[in-house]
Chain A
Amino acid sequence: MITLKNVNKSFASLKVLNDISVNFEAGKTNLIIGQSGSGKTVLLKSIIGLHEIDSGKIFYSDRDFTAMNLKSRKNIRQEMGMVFQGGALFDSMSVEENVLFPLDMFSKMSDTEKMDRVNFCLNRVNIKNSNHLYPTEISGGMQKRVAIARAIALNPKYLFCDEPNSGLDPVTAIVIDNLIQEITKEFNMTTIINTHDMNSVMEIGEKILFISKGFKAWEGTKEEIFDTDNQALNDFVFASDLYQKIKKVNR
Protein backbone atom coordinates (compact mmCIF):
# COMPACT_ATOMS: atom_id res chain seq x y z
CA MET A 1 0.00 0.00 0.00
CA ILE A 2 1.16 3.49 -0.83
CA THR A 3 -0.30 6.47 0.98
CA LEU A 4 0.02 10.14 0.02
CA LYS A 5 -0.72 12.89 2.52
CA ASN A 6 -1.12 16.48 1.34
CA VAL A 7 1.49 16.28 -1.38
CA ASN A 8 2.45 19.57 -3.02
CA LYS A 9 4.88 20.09 -5.86
CA SER A 10 5.76 23.10 -7.96
CA PHE A 11 8.36 24.01 -10.54
CA ALA A 12 9.50 27.60 -10.00
CA SER A 13 6.21 29.53 -10.05
CA LEU A 14 4.22 26.72 -11.65
CA LYS A 15 2.17 24.79 -9.09
CA VAL A 16 1.73 21.30 -10.53
CA LEU A 17 0.40 19.24 -7.59
CA ASN A 18 -2.04 20.67 -5.07
CA ASP A 19 -2.54 19.00 -1.73
CA ILE A 20 -3.00 15.45 -3.03
CA SER A 21 -3.99 12.82 -0.46
CA VAL A 22 -4.80 9.30 -1.56
CA ASN A 23 -4.42 5.60 -0.78
CA PHE A 24 -3.16 3.19 -3.41
CA GLU A 25 -4.09 -0.35 -2.47
CA ALA A 26 -2.06 -3.55 -2.65
CA GLY A 27 -3.08 -6.26 -5.09
CA LYS A 28 -5.03 -3.74 -7.13
CA THR A 29 -4.43 -1.80 -10.31
CA ASN A 30 -4.62 1.81 -9.16
CA LEU A 31 -5.15 4.27 -12.00
CA ILE A 32 -4.24 7.93 -12.14
CA ILE A 33 -6.24 9.59 -14.89
CA GLY A 34 -6.44 13.14 -16.12
CA GLN A 35 -5.93 15.35 -19.13
CA SER A 36 -2.59 15.85 -20.75
CA GLY A 37 -0.64 18.30 -18.60
CA SER A 38 -2.76 17.69 -15.51
CA GLY A 39 0.28 16.41 -13.59
CA LYS A 40 0.08 12.61 -13.83
CA THR A 41 3.72 12.05 -14.69
CA VAL A 42 4.88 14.57 -12.10
CA LEU A 43 2.74 12.81 -9.47
CA LEU A 44 4.14 9.40 -10.36
CA LYS A 45 7.71 10.67 -10.41
CA SER A 46 7.13 12.39 -7.07
CA ILE A 47 5.88 9.15 -5.55
CA ILE A 48 9.02 7.29 -6.60
CA GLY A 49 11.27 10.18 -5.62
CA LEU A 50 12.52 11.24 -9.03
CA HIS A 51 11.03 14.62 -8.11
CA GLU A 52 11.43 16.05 -4.59
CA ILE A 53 8.06 17.18 -3.27
CA ASP A 54 7.70 20.61 -1.63
CA SER A 55 5.55 19.41 1.24
CA GLY A 56 3.44 16.47 2.32
CA LYS A 57 4.23 12.85 3.06
CA ILE A 58 4.52 9.61 1.11
CA PHE A 59 4.33 6.24 2.86
CA TYR A 60 5.27 2.84 1.47
CA SER A 61 3.38 0.37 3.66
CA ASP A 62 3.80 2.68 6.68
CA ARG A 63 7.42 3.50 5.92
CA ASP A 64 7.82 7.26 5.56
CA PHE A 65 9.58 7.63 2.20
CA THR A 66 9.81 11.42 2.47
CA ALA A 67 11.82 11.20 5.69
CA MET A 68 14.29 8.64 4.36
CA ASN A 69 17.89 9.40 3.61
CA LEU A 70 19.50 8.50 0.31
CA LYS A 71 20.63 5.11 1.48
CA SER A 72 17.28 3.87 2.76
CA ARG A 73 15.64 5.20 -0.36
CA LYS A 74 18.05 3.19 -2.43
CA ASN A 75 17.09 0.09 -0.51
CA ILE A 76 13.39 0.67 -0.91
CA ARG A 77 13.90 1.29 -4.62
CA GLN A 78 14.84 -2.31 -5.03
CA GLU A 79 11.24 -3.06 -4.12
CA MET A 80 10.01 -0.84 -6.95
CA GLY A 81 9.68 -1.51 -10.63
CA MET A 82 8.81 1.09 -13.20
CA VAL A 83 7.62 0.98 -16.78
CA PHE A 84 8.35 4.34 -18.39
CA GLN A 85 6.20 6.11 -20.96
CA GLY A 86 8.60 5.28 -23.78
CA GLY A 87 9.79 1.98 -22.35
CA ALA A 88 13.23 3.39 -21.49
CA LEU A 89 14.99 0.15 -22.35
CA PHE A 90 18.76 0.47 -22.44
CA ASP A 91 19.63 0.84 -26.14
CA SER A 92 23.08 -0.56 -25.71
CA MET A 93 21.81 -3.83 -24.26
CA SER A 94 19.89 -6.72 -25.79
CA VAL A 95 16.44 -7.75 -24.56
CA GLU A 96 17.99 -10.36 -22.32
CA GLU A 97 20.64 -8.01 -20.92
CA ASN A 98 17.97 -5.43 -20.14
CA VAL A 99 16.07 -7.86 -17.93
CA LEU A 100 19.28 -9.27 -16.52
CA PHE A 101 20.58 -5.84 -15.56
CA PRO A 102 18.69 -5.28 -12.27
CA LEU A 103 19.48 -8.87 -11.24
CA ASP A 104 23.15 -8.33 -12.02
CA MET A 105 23.22 -5.15 -9.99
CA PHE A 106 21.21 -6.15 -6.96
CA SER A 107 20.62 -9.87 -6.58
CA LYS A 108 22.86 -12.43 -5.01
CA MET A 109 21.69 -15.19 -7.34
CA SER A 110 24.05 -17.45 -9.23
CA ASP A 111 24.42 -16.94 -12.97
CA THR A 112 22.08 -19.82 -13.84
CA GLU A 113 19.48 -18.64 -11.34
CA LYS A 114 19.63 -15.19 -12.91
CA MET A 115 19.14 -16.56 -16.42
CA ASP A 116 16.23 -18.66 -15.19
CA ARG A 117 14.65 -15.59 -13.71
CA VAL A 118 15.23 -13.60 -16.94
CA ASN A 119 13.57 -16.31 -19.00
CA PHE A 120 10.73 -16.62 -16.50
CA CYS A 121 10.04 -12.87 -16.72
CA LEU A 122 10.29 -12.77 -20.51
CA ASN A 123 8.03 -15.78 -20.73
CA ARG A 124 5.55 -14.16 -18.38
CA VAL A 125 5.17 -11.23 -20.80
CA ASN A 126 5.09 -13.54 -23.80
CA ILE A 127 8.42 -12.61 -25.32
CA LYS A 128 9.97 -15.65 -26.91
CA ASN A 129 13.01 -16.19 -29.11
CA SER A 130 13.98 -12.53 -28.94
CA ASN A 131 16.56 -12.66 -26.18
CA HIS A 132 19.40 -11.41 -28.34
CA LEU A 133 17.57 -8.69 -30.24
CA TYR A 134 18.17 -5.02 -29.41
CA PRO A 135 15.38 -2.60 -28.42
CA THR A 136 15.45 -0.92 -31.83
CA GLU A 137 14.88 -4.28 -33.48
CA ILE A 138 11.56 -5.06 -31.76
CA SER A 139 8.11 -3.45 -32.06
CA GLY A 140 6.73 -0.83 -29.69
CA GLY A 141 4.40 -3.34 -28.06
CA MET A 142 7.26 -5.75 -27.51
CA GLN A 143 9.38 -2.96 -26.02
CA LYS A 144 6.62 -2.26 -23.50
CA ARG A 145 6.47 -5.94 -22.61
CA VAL A 146 10.23 -6.19 -22.18
CA ALA A 147 10.05 -3.07 -20.01
CA ILE A 148 7.45 -4.84 -17.86
CA ALA A 149 9.68 -7.93 -17.68
CA ARG A 150 12.60 -5.76 -16.54
CA ALA A 151 10.39 -3.99 -14.00
CA ILE A 152 9.29 -7.26 -12.38
CA ALA A 153 12.72 -8.94 -12.50
CA LEU A 154 13.48 -8.24 -8.84
CA ASN A 155 10.00 -9.25 -7.71
CA PRO A 156 8.94 -5.74 -6.74
CA LYS A 157 6.27 -4.94 -4.18
CA TYR A 158 5.40 -1.76 -6.04
CA LEU A 159 4.93 -1.40 -9.77
CA PHE A 160 4.62 1.94 -11.55
CA CYS A 161 3.57 2.35 -15.16
CA ASP A 162 3.50 5.66 -17.00
CA GLU A 163 1.03 5.32 -19.87
CA PRO A 164 1.95 1.71 -20.54
CA ASN A 165 -0.21 1.48 -23.64
CA SER A 166 0.23 4.86 -25.29
CA GLY A 167 1.14 4.48 -28.93
CA LEU A 168 -0.21 0.94 -29.14
CA ASP A 169 -3.12 -0.38 -31.17
CA PRO A 170 -6.32 -1.11 -29.16
CA VAL A 171 -5.79 -4.88 -29.16
CA THR A 172 -2.18 -4.74 -27.97
CA ALA A 173 -3.16 -2.04 -25.47
CA ILE A 174 -5.69 -4.36 -23.86
CA VAL A 175 -3.17 -7.21 -23.83
CA ILE A 176 -0.71 -4.99 -21.95
CA ASP A 177 -3.39 -3.75 -19.53
CA ASN A 178 -4.51 -7.28 -18.74
CA LEU A 179 -0.94 -8.44 -18.37
CA ILE A 180 -0.26 -5.73 -15.79
CA GLN A 181 -3.43 -6.60 -13.92
CA GLU A 182 -2.64 -10.32 -13.89
CA ILE A 183 0.88 -9.72 -12.64
CA THR A 184 -0.46 -7.39 -9.97
CA LYS A 185 -2.79 -10.09 -8.64
CA GLU A 186 -0.27 -12.89 -9.06
CA PHE A 187 2.41 -11.18 -6.97
CA ASN A 188 0.10 -9.02 -4.82
CA MET A 189 1.85 -5.83 -5.89
CA THR A 190 0.70 -2.26 -5.36
CA THR A 191 0.44 -1.09 -8.94
CA ILE A 192 -0.04 2.52 -10.00
CA ILE A 193 -0.77 3.25 -13.63
CA ASN A 194 -0.95 6.62 -15.39
CA THR A 195 -3.32 6.71 -18.28
CA HIS A 196 -5.66 8.84 -20.29
CA ASP A 197 -7.01 5.87 -22.17
CA MET A 198 -10.67 5.25 -21.36
CA ASN A 199 -10.44 1.63 -22.47
CA SER A 200 -7.89 1.04 -19.72
CA VAL A 201 -10.11 2.73 -17.19
CA MET A 202 -13.00 0.43 -18.07
CA GLU A 203 -10.79 -2.62 -18.31
CA ILE A 204 -8.62 -2.45 -15.20
CA GLY A 205 -9.79 0.58 -13.17
CA GLU A 206 -10.09 -1.08 -9.78
CA LYS A 207 -9.21 2.16 -8.07
CA ILE A 208 -9.16 5.44 -9.91
CA LEU A 209 -7.73 8.80 -8.95
CA PHE A 210 -8.81 11.60 -11.25
CA ILE A 211 -6.66 14.70 -11.19
CA SER A 212 -7.52 17.94 -12.84
CA LYS A 213 -5.08 20.87 -13.02
CA GLY A 214 -3.03 19.33 -10.24
CA PHE A 215 -5.94 18.87 -7.84
CA LYS A 216 -7.47 15.59 -6.78
CA ALA A 217 -10.87 15.95 -8.35
CA TRP A 218 -12.38 12.52 -7.76
CA GLU A 219 -11.61 9.00 -6.61
CA GLY A 220 -13.53 5.77 -6.94
CA THR A 221 -13.87 2.60 -8.98
CA LYS A 222 -14.73 2.01 -12.63
CA GLU A 223 -18.25 1.07 -11.63
CA GLU A 224 -18.76 4.30 -9.71
CA ILE A 225 -17.55 6.40 -12.60
CA PHE A 226 -20.91 6.05 -14.37
CA ASP A 227 -22.85 7.57 -11.51
CA THR A 228 -20.64 10.50 -10.78
CA ASP A 229 -21.95 14.05 -10.75
CA ASN A 230 -18.44 15.49 -10.91
CA GLN A 231 -18.49 17.82 -13.88
CA ALA A 232 -14.78 17.75 -14.67
CA LEU A 233 -14.71 13.96 -14.54
CA ASN A 234 -17.80 13.73 -16.72
CA ASP A 235 -16.24 16.03 -19.28
CA PHE A 236 -13.09 13.94 -19.28
CA VAL A 237 -14.54 10.45 -19.25
CA PHE A 238 -17.52 11.00 -21.46
CA ALA A 239 -15.86 13.28 -23.95
CA SER A 240 -16.40 10.80 -26.75
CA ASP A 241 -19.76 10.04 -28.28
CA LEU A 242 -19.25 6.34 -27.70
CA TYR A 243 -18.88 6.71 -23.96
CA GLN A 244 -21.88 9.05 -23.86
CA LYS A 245 -23.93 6.23 -25.32
CA ILE A 246 -22.43 3.63 -22.99
CA LYS A 247 -23.32 5.86 -20.07
CA LYS A 248 -26.93 6.19 -21.18
CA VAL A 249 -27.28 2.42 -21.61
CA ASN A 250 -25.67 1.85 -18.24
CA ARG A 251 -28.15 4.10 -16.50
Chain B
Amino acid sequence: MGLFEHVGKFSKFLVLVVSKPEKGKTFFSHIIKEIHKLGINSIGIVVIISLFMGAVIALQTAYNMQNPLLPDYLVGYTTRESMLLEFSSTIVGLILAGKVGSNIASEIGSMRVTEQIDALEIMGVNSANFLVLPKIIAAVFINPFLYILSVFVGILGGLFAGYLTGTVAVSDFIYGVQFGFIPYYISYSLIKTCVFAFIITAIPSYYGYFVKGGALEVGKASTKAVVNSSILILLSNLILTQILLK
Protein backbone atom coordinates (compact mmCIF):
# COMPACT_ATOMS: atom_id res chain seq x y z
CA MET B 1 0.00 0.00 0.00
CA GLY B 2 1.35 3.42 -0.93
CA LEU B 3 1.84 6.38 1.38
CA PHE B 4 -1.25 8.20 0.13
CA GLU B 5 -3.46 5.17 0.59
CA HIS B 6 -2.23 4.89 4.17
CA VAL B 7 -2.94 8.55 4.80
CA GLY B 8 -6.46 8.16 3.40
CA LYS B 9 -7.17 5.00 5.36
CA PHE B 10 -5.69 6.50 8.53
CA SER B 11 -7.87 9.61 8.20
CA LYS B 12 -11.00 7.50 7.82
CA PHE B 13 -9.90 5.47 10.83
CA LEU B 14 -9.46 8.66 12.89
CA VAL B 15 -12.97 9.81 12.01
CA LEU B 16 -14.26 6.55 13.49
CA VAL B 17 -12.02 6.90 16.53
CA VAL B 18 -12.98 10.45 17.32
CA SER B 19 -16.71 10.07 17.75
CA LYS B 20 -18.94 10.17 20.76
CA PRO B 21 -18.35 7.21 23.09
CA GLU B 22 -21.18 4.76 23.72
CA LYS B 23 -21.31 4.96 27.50
CA GLY B 24 -19.69 7.78 29.47
CA LYS B 25 -19.08 5.71 32.57
CA THR B 26 -17.40 2.82 30.75
CA PHE B 27 -15.38 5.24 28.67
CA PHE B 28 -14.06 7.05 31.70
CA SER B 29 -13.06 3.86 33.49
CA HIS B 30 -11.23 2.80 30.32
CA ILE B 31 -9.25 6.03 30.29
CA ILE B 32 -8.20 5.41 33.89
CA LYS B 33 -7.11 1.87 33.00
CA GLU B 34 -5.11 3.13 30.03
CA ILE B 35 -3.46 5.86 32.10
CA HIS B 36 -2.27 3.08 34.34
CA LYS B 37 -1.15 0.83 31.49
CA LEU B 38 0.49 3.46 29.31
CA GLY B 39 1.64 5.99 31.89
CA ILE B 40 2.18 4.58 35.34
CA ASN B 41 3.76 1.41 33.94
CA SER B 42 6.25 3.53 31.97
CA ILE B 43 7.52 5.48 34.96
CA GLY B 44 10.25 2.92 35.69
CA ILE B 45 11.81 2.98 32.25
CA VAL B 46 11.55 6.78 32.00
CA VAL B 47 13.27 7.25 35.36
CA ILE B 48 16.11 4.85 34.62
CA ILE B 49 16.84 6.23 31.17
CA SER B 50 16.57 9.86 32.23
CA LEU B 51 18.82 9.35 35.24
CA PHE B 52 21.58 7.80 33.16
CA MET B 53 21.24 10.22 30.24
CA GLY B 54 21.39 13.21 32.56
CA ALA B 55 24.51 11.77 34.17
CA VAL B 56 26.17 11.08 30.84
CA ILE B 57 25.34 14.52 29.44
CA ALA B 58 26.85 16.15 32.54
CA LEU B 59 30.04 14.10 32.38
CA GLN B 60 30.49 14.57 28.62
CA THR B 61 30.07 18.31 28.98
CA ALA B 62 32.47 18.45 31.92
CA TYR B 63 35.18 16.40 30.20
CA ASN B 64 34.86 18.36 26.96
CA MET B 65 35.34 21.73 28.63
CA GLN B 66 39.14 21.88 28.65
CA ASN B 67 39.13 25.67 28.36
CA PRO B 68 39.62 27.13 31.88
CA LEU B 69 37.71 30.26 30.81
CA LEU B 70 34.49 28.26 30.59
CA PRO B 71 32.76 28.29 33.97
CA ASP B 72 31.81 24.99 35.69
CA TYR B 73 28.16 25.95 35.96
CA LEU B 74 27.85 25.42 32.20
CA VAL B 75 27.62 21.70 32.98
CA GLY B 76 24.39 22.24 34.88
CA TYR B 77 23.13 24.61 32.20
CA THR B 78 23.84 22.16 29.37
CA THR B 79 22.25 19.24 31.20
CA ARG B 80 19.09 21.24 31.81
CA GLU B 81 18.90 22.49 28.23
CA SER B 82 19.44 19.02 26.73
CA MET B 83 16.87 17.38 28.93
CA LEU B 84 14.35 20.17 28.60
CA LEU B 85 14.59 20.72 24.86
CA GLU B 86 15.26 17.39 23.33
CA PHE B 87 15.89 14.45 25.54
CA SER B 88 12.82 14.32 27.76
CA SER B 89 10.45 14.90 24.87
CA THR B 90 11.95 13.28 21.79
CA ILE B 91 14.14 10.49 23.17
CA VAL B 92 11.56 9.49 25.76
CA GLY B 93 8.98 9.65 22.96
CA LEU B 94 11.05 7.28 20.85
CA ILE B 95 11.55 4.87 23.72
CA LEU B 96 7.84 4.88 24.52
CA ALA B 97 7.11 4.33 20.83
CA GLY B 98 8.97 1.06 21.25
CA LYS B 99 7.44 0.04 24.55
CA VAL B 100 3.90 1.39 24.32
CA GLY B 101 3.64 1.18 20.52
CA SER B 102 4.43 -2.52 20.20
CA ASN B 103 2.15 -3.20 23.13
CA ILE B 104 -0.81 -1.40 21.57
CA ALA B 105 -0.31 -2.83 18.08
CA SER B 106 -0.14 -6.40 19.34
CA GLU B 107 -3.04 -5.96 21.73
CA ILE B 108 -5.39 -4.55 19.09
CA GLY B 109 -3.94 -6.80 16.36
CA SER B 110 -4.61 -9.96 18.31
CA MET B 111 -8.12 -8.73 19.04
CA ARG B 112 -8.58 -8.37 15.30
CA VAL B 113 -7.32 -11.81 14.32
CA THR B 114 -9.29 -13.56 17.07
CA GLU B 115 -12.45 -11.74 15.89
CA GLN B 116 -12.88 -9.85 19.16
CA ILE B 117 -13.18 -6.65 17.13
CA ASP B 118 -15.89 -8.27 14.98
CA ALA B 119 -17.60 -9.30 18.20
CA LEU B 120 -17.67 -5.67 19.32
CA GLU B 121 -18.98 -4.51 15.95
CA ILE B 122 -21.78 -7.05 15.84
CA MET B 123 -22.89 -5.90 19.29
CA GLY B 124 -23.23 -2.44 17.78
CA VAL B 125 -20.15 -0.98 19.47
CA ASN B 126 -17.92 1.34 17.45
CA SER B 127 -14.79 -0.72 18.03
CA ALA B 128 -12.29 1.87 16.78
CA ASN B 129 -13.69 4.46 19.14
CA PHE B 130 -14.06 2.02 22.01
CA LEU B 131 -10.54 0.61 21.80
CA VAL B 132 -8.46 3.51 20.59
CA LEU B 133 -9.82 6.80 21.90
CA PRO B 134 -9.16 6.00 25.60
CA LYS B 135 -5.55 5.19 24.72
CA ILE B 136 -5.01 8.45 22.86
CA ILE B 137 -6.63 10.55 25.57
CA ALA B 138 -4.75 8.72 28.33
CA ALA B 139 -1.38 9.19 26.64
CA VAL B 140 -1.92 12.84 25.75
CA PHE B 141 -2.90 13.44 29.35
CA ILE B 142 -0.20 11.45 31.16
CA ASN B 143 2.86 11.91 28.92
CA PRO B 144 3.41 15.57 29.89
CA PHE B 145 3.81 14.35 33.48
CA LEU B 146 6.31 11.76 32.29
CA TYR B 147 8.11 14.57 30.48
CA ILE B 148 8.36 16.72 33.62
CA LEU B 149 9.48 13.71 35.64
CA SER B 150 12.14 12.94 33.06
CA VAL B 151 13.52 16.50 33.15
CA PHE B 152 13.79 16.43 36.93
CA VAL B 153 15.34 13.01 37.14
CA GLY B 154 17.79 13.84 34.33
CA ILE B 155 18.99 16.97 36.08
CA LEU B 156 19.35 14.99 39.32
CA GLY B 157 21.36 12.40 37.43
CA GLY B 158 23.68 15.10 36.15
CA LEU B 159 24.01 16.57 39.59
CA PHE B 160 24.90 13.21 41.17
CA ALA B 161 27.36 12.36 38.40
CA GLY B 162 29.14 15.69 38.76
CA TYR B 163 29.27 15.38 42.51
CA LEU B 164 30.30 11.71 42.69
CA THR B 165 33.11 12.09 40.14
CA GLY B 166 34.20 15.36 41.63
CA THR B 167 34.00 17.14 38.27
CA VAL B 168 31.39 19.78 39.17
CA ALA B 169 30.52 21.20 42.57
CA VAL B 170 26.86 20.91 43.55
CA SER B 171 26.52 24.66 43.98
CA ASP B 172 27.97 25.34 40.51
CA PHE B 173 25.66 22.75 38.97
CA ILE B 174 22.60 24.21 40.67
CA TYR B 175 23.56 27.71 39.60
CA GLY B 176 23.88 26.44 36.02
CA VAL B 177 20.51 24.74 36.17
CA GLN B 178 18.92 28.10 37.01
CA PHE B 179 21.07 30.09 34.59
CA GLY B 180 19.47 31.68 31.51
CA PHE B 181 16.21 29.80 31.91
CA ILE B 182 13.67 30.35 29.13
CA PRO B 183 10.20 29.21 30.29
CA TYR B 184 8.94 29.05 26.69
CA TYR B 185 11.14 26.00 26.12
CA ILE B 186 8.91 24.08 28.48
CA SER B 187 5.79 24.98 26.49
CA TYR B 188 7.62 24.05 23.30
CA SER B 189 8.53 20.63 24.71
CA LEU B 190 5.12 20.01 26.21
CA ILE B 191 3.53 20.63 22.83
CA LYS B 192 5.97 18.18 21.29
CA THR B 193 5.25 15.64 24.03
CA CYS B 194 1.51 15.79 23.35
CA VAL B 195 2.00 15.38 19.61
CA PHE B 196 4.31 12.42 20.21
CA ALA B 197 1.81 10.92 22.65
CA PHE B 198 -0.79 11.04 19.88
CA ILE B 199 1.63 9.43 17.41
CA ILE B 200 2.67 6.57 19.70
CA THR B 201 -0.92 5.61 20.40
CA ALA B 202 -2.75 6.37 17.14
CA ILE B 203 -0.25 4.86 14.67
CA PRO B 204 0.17 1.49 16.44
CA SER B 205 -3.61 1.33 16.95
CA TYR B 206 -4.04 1.82 13.21
CA TYR B 207 -1.58 -0.96 12.34
CA GLY B 208 -3.14 -3.30 14.88
CA TYR B 209 -6.70 -2.54 13.83
CA PHE B 210 -6.17 -3.47 10.19
CA VAL B 211 -4.14 -6.64 10.67
CA LYS B 212 -5.18 -9.52 8.42
CA GLY B 213 -4.14 -13.10 9.10
CA GLY B 214 -2.74 -14.59 12.26
CA ALA B 215 -0.14 -14.28 15.00
CA LEU B 216 2.68 -13.85 12.47
CA GLU B 217 1.00 -10.81 10.92
CA VAL B 218 0.35 -9.34 14.35
CA GLY B 219 4.10 -9.48 15.01
CA LYS B 220 4.84 -7.84 11.68
CA ALA B 221 2.27 -5.12 12.28
CA SER B 222 3.78 -4.42 15.66
CA THR B 223 7.25 -3.98 14.13
CA LYS B 224 5.89 -1.73 11.40
CA ALA B 225 4.02 0.30 14.00
CA VAL B 226 7.16 0.94 16.02
CA VAL B 227 9.32 1.81 13.01
CA ASN B 228 6.75 4.14 11.46
CA SER B 229 5.77 5.90 14.64
CA SER B 230 9.47 6.48 15.38
CA ILE B 231 9.98 7.99 11.94
CA LEU B 232 6.89 10.16 12.40
CA ILE B 233 8.18 11.36 15.77
CA LEU B 234 11.49 12.43 14.22
CA LEU B 235 9.73 14.10 11.31
CA SER B 236 7.25 15.99 13.46
CA ASN B 237 10.05 16.94 15.83
CA LEU B 238 11.77 18.68 12.94
CA ILE B 239 8.59 20.40 11.76
CA LEU B 240 7.50 21.49 15.25
CA THR B 241 10.95 22.83 16.04
CA GLN B 242 10.96 24.90 12.87
CA ILE B 243 7.48 26.25 13.64
CA LEU B 244 7.85 26.81 17.37
CA LEU B 245 11.45 27.99 17.79
CA LYS B 246 11.82 30.09 14.63
Interaction A to B: yes
Give Cα A80–Cα B116 distance, bound, in whole angstroms: 16
The answer to whether B124 touches A82, judged by C-beta atoms less than 8 angstroms apart, is no
The answer to whether B125 touches A105, judged by C-beta atoms less than 8 angstroms apart, is yes
The answer to whether B26 touches A105, judged by C-beta atoms less than 8 angstroms apart, is yes
The 5 closest A-B pairs by CB, nearest first: A77-B124, A88-B115, A88-B119, A74-B124, A84-B115
> Residue of B at shortest CB range from A92?
B107
Of the candidates A45, A75, A78, A104, the one whose C-beta lies within 8 Å of that of B23 is A104
Known A86-B115, A88-B114; judge A48-B122 contact (CB<8 A): yes
Report how many residues on chain A are interfacial, defined by Cβ distance under 8 Å. 23
Query: Does A229 lie at the interface of the complex (its beta carbon under 8 Å from any beta carbon of B)?
Result: no
> Residue of A at shortest CB range from B113?
A86
Most B Cβ at <10 Å: residue of A73, A82, A160: A82
Q: Interface residues of A: mostly helix, strand, loop or mixed?
A: mixed
The answer to whether B119 touches A82, judged by C-beta atoms less than 8 angstroms apart, is yes
A window 212-240: CB within 8 A of B: none
Give Cα A105–Cα B30 distance, bound, in whole angstroms: 13
- Beyond A84-B115, A84-B119, list 4 extra A-B contacts (CB 8 Å): A45-B118, A73-B124, A84-B118, A106-B124
> Residue of B at shortest CB range from A48?
B122
The answer to whether A106 touches B123, judged by C-beta atoms less than 8 angstroms apart, is yes
Residues of B with C-beta under 8 A to A106: 123-124
Give Cα A73–Cα B122 distance, bound, in whole angstroms: 10
The answer to whether B123 touches A90, judged by C-beta atoms less than 8 angstroms apart, is no
Give Cα A86–Cα B124 distance, bound, in whole angstroms: 20
Most A Cβ at <10 Å: residue of B22, B119, B125: B119
Of the candidates B26, B121, B125, the one whose C-beta lies within 8 Å of that of A50 is B121
Interface string of B85-125 (1 = CB under 8 A from A): 00000000000000000000000001100111011011111
The answer to whether B118 touches A78, judged by C-beta atoms less than 8 angstroms apart, is no
Residues of A with C-beta under 8 A to B23: 104-105
- Give, as a whole number of angstroms, the nearest-CB distance from A96 to chain B: 16
Residues of B with C-beta under 8 A to A88: 114-116, 118-119
Interface string of A78-115 (1 = CB under 8 A from B): 10101011101111000000000110111000000000
Most A Cβ at <10 Å: residue of B26, B122, B125: B122
Of the candidates A78, A85, A86, the one whose C-beta lies within 8 Å of that of B123 is A78
Give Cα A101–Cα B120 distance, bound, in whole angstroms: 10
Residues of A with C-beta under 8 A to B114: 86, 88, 91
- Give, as a whole number of angstroms, the nearest-CB distance from B43 to chain A: 22
The answer to whether B115 touches A85, judged by C-beta atoms less than 8 angstroms apart, is yes
B window 105-157: CB within 8 A of A: 110-111, 114-116, 118-119, 121-125
The answer to whether A50 touches B122, judged by C-beta atoms less than 8 angstroms apart, is yes
The answer to whether A78 touches B124, judged by C-beta atoms less than 8 angstroms apart, is yes
Query: Can you name 30 A-B pairs with beta carbons within 8 Å?
Result: A48-B122, A50-B122, A73-B124, A77-B122, A77-B123, A77-B124, A78-B124, A82-B118, A82-B119, A84-B118, A84-B119, A85-B115, A86-B114, A86-B115, A88-B114, A88-B115, A88-B119, A89-B116, A90-B111, A90-B119, A91-B116, A101-B123, A102-B123, A104-B23, A104-B26, A105-B22, A105-B26, A105-B123, A105-B124, A106-B124
